[in-house]
Amino acid sequence: MQTMLTALFAGIGGVAGSYAYAGDTPSFVVAPIAGFLARAMPAPVVSFAITTLGSFGEQLNLGTAVVLAVALLAGTSLVALAVGRRVESAVATVGLTALLGWVATASVTEVPLPALSALSTGLASATVVAVSEFLRETSGREDEIFDGERRQLLGGLASALGIGLFGYVFGSRQTTTSPENLGATPRRQRLFEEATAKSLDIPGIDPLISDVGSFYEVDINNIDPAVETDEWTLSITGAVERERTYSYSDLTSMEADDRFYTLRCVGDSLNGTKMDNAIWTGVPIMDVIDEARPHGNYVVLRAADDYYEAFPIEALRGGMLAYGMNGRGLPREHGAPVRALLPGHWGEPNVKWITEIEFSREAVTGYWEQRGWHGTGPVKTVAKFHAINRLPDGRVQVGGHAYAGTRGIQSVEVSIDGGSWREATLSEPLSGEAVWRQWEYKYEPPAESHEVVVRATDRTGTLQARKKAEPFPNGPSGWVSRTVNMTANER
């Protein structure tokens, strides 16, 4: 029993030691395990996790990975304890703990963790075992308050907690980097002012530019890649006349552009919040690609997290390689240092942490398409309905955002009586190819409790589809309908 607990503490210490070295990066021993779990999960489970569990699903995955990592290191420590005691050598026990912990950590995935990261894990486990074994063996006297086994357990627990605290402090330091300020160019300044001037003031919904901190995040790993700017490169490969490789400074020394561009995930629920807008800074993707003279019809964008999406080459037109977001460098969670942005497409092909643009003569099946999704094409038209406010004069204000990709939003209509439609007020369109608009409608409530339905029409004159569909596999559709209850404290 004592041995089991000592091994468990060693497992906890090992994971904490790994965190101390790597922080919240892919070199953390939990990261490859969480990634493995996410990829090994059958497609329907993944879809359920995304659309129903949301971030809880991610936490569940991360929690499971932590437990598995602790179990792995507890297992190797247990072996070391058994062998070391058999040969009656504390040195062997401790050394073997470090060695096995190191080997196990280094081999948890097909992509091995960096040697130093794995070593920090093994050493941390060995420290816990060393403290425990030392306390067990140095106790001899019968009249001691704590006998050897108690001392062993308390020592193991204390050292695991100590390493945990150390790991927390150092590991967090590893990962908190705030992106540099890109400085205010006149063009960027104009875009910020434009968004402020055009934003409608509707309590309960985002302004026209989302805060970077609340901008939705979707990706395949719990722990995002941490790509160093000076180590980053982008290769243009495959069916091209000349392969090319760009560094970060190659890219940033090209003529920069700033654009509004709205992103929406195909796995967003109909009235969900996986839709946001930002000002992005970068270079037109075609400026980079033209130099390589591609001749395939298809393109694959690959990333540092092994994510890849593939689609016909036309989708790249109007696209950008972005390294800035709302006036700062791209935050890590949104793809630092560089991501792709393809106006009007679902989020999927907007590949973050991009490392390679590969051209191909044949169609390739992307990461999500292998799992049954169809999320590389243009977005569906949607009017989201997020705000219900009671005005002091007794009227009701309802509002939200509407988005139709590059087709643009022409109008938004509201019905409060289950039949007749009134035009909502729209925010002035922002400059740009694929940008959302806000809508707002004020009315006298027809009853205590009533149903409000909203629908958008795009600039081609096409009405948002009424027929309901789940997000999987093509993105949600239908008209958003909400019950407004005057007696409840609605918002």
Ligand X SMILES: Nc1nc2c(c(=O)[nH]1)N[C@H]1C(S)=C(S)[C@@H](COP(=O)(O)O)O[C@H]1N2
CA dihedral 13, 17, 22, 25 (to 10 degrees): 0
User: How far apart are CB 297 and ligand X at their closest, in Å?
Assistant: 22
> Nearer Cβ to ligand X, position 160 or 263?
263
Q: Which of 234, 427, 402 is nearest to 320 (CA)?
A: 234
Q: Which does 351 bind (CB under 5 to 8 A by kind): Mo ion, ligand X, none?
A: ligand X
- Measured CA to CA, the distance from residue 342 to residue 491 in angstroms comes to 34
Q: Which does 36 bind (CB under 5 to 8 A by kind): ligand X, Mo ion, none?
A: none
Q: Which does 154 bind (CB under 5 to 8 A by kind): ligand X, Mo ion, none?
A: none
Residues 6+ apart with CB under 8 A from 455: 383, 412, 413, 421, 463, 464, 466, 479
> Nearer Cβ to Mo ion, position 5 or 218?
218
Q: Does 220 bind Mo ion (CB under 5 A)?
A: no
User: How far apart are CB 382 and ligand X at their closest, in Å?
Assistant: 14
- Measured CA to CA, the distance from residue 135 to residue 139 in angstroms comes to 6
User: How far apart are CB 21 and ligand X at their closest, in Å?
Assistant: 24
Identify residues 320-349 at the interface with Mo ion (CB under 5 A): 347
Identify residues 251-270 at the interface with Mo ion (CB under 5 A): 265
Q: Which does 217 bind (CB under 5 to 8 A by kind): Mo ion, ligand X, none?
A: ligand X
Chain contacts with ligand X (rule: CB under 6 A):
215-220, 263, 265, 303, 305, 307, 334, 347-348, 350-353
Q: Quick one: residue 469, left, alpha or beta (phi over 0 = left, psi -120 to 50 = alpha)?
A: beta
In this structure, the number of other CB atoms found within 10 A of the CB of residue 242 comes to 9
User: How far apart are CB 366 and ligand X at their closest, in Å?
Assistant: 10
Q: Which does 224 bind (CB under 5 to 8 A by kind): ligand X, Mo ion, none?
A: none
Q: Which of 164, 163, 161, 137 is nearest to 151 (CA)?
A: 137
Q: Which does 307 bind (CB under 5 to 8 A by kind): Mo ion, ligand X, none?
A: ligand X
> Nearer Cβ to ligand X, position 94 or 275?
275
- Counting DSSP H helices and E strands in the chain, the numbers are 10, 19
User: How far apart are CB 52 and ligand X at their closest, in Å?
Assistant: 16
> Nearer Cβ to Mo ion, position 329 or 475?
475
CA dihedral 404, 408, 414, 415 (to 10 degrees): -60
Q: Does 218 bind Mo ion (CB under 5 A)?
A: yes
Binding site for Mo ion (CB under 5 A): 218, 265, 347
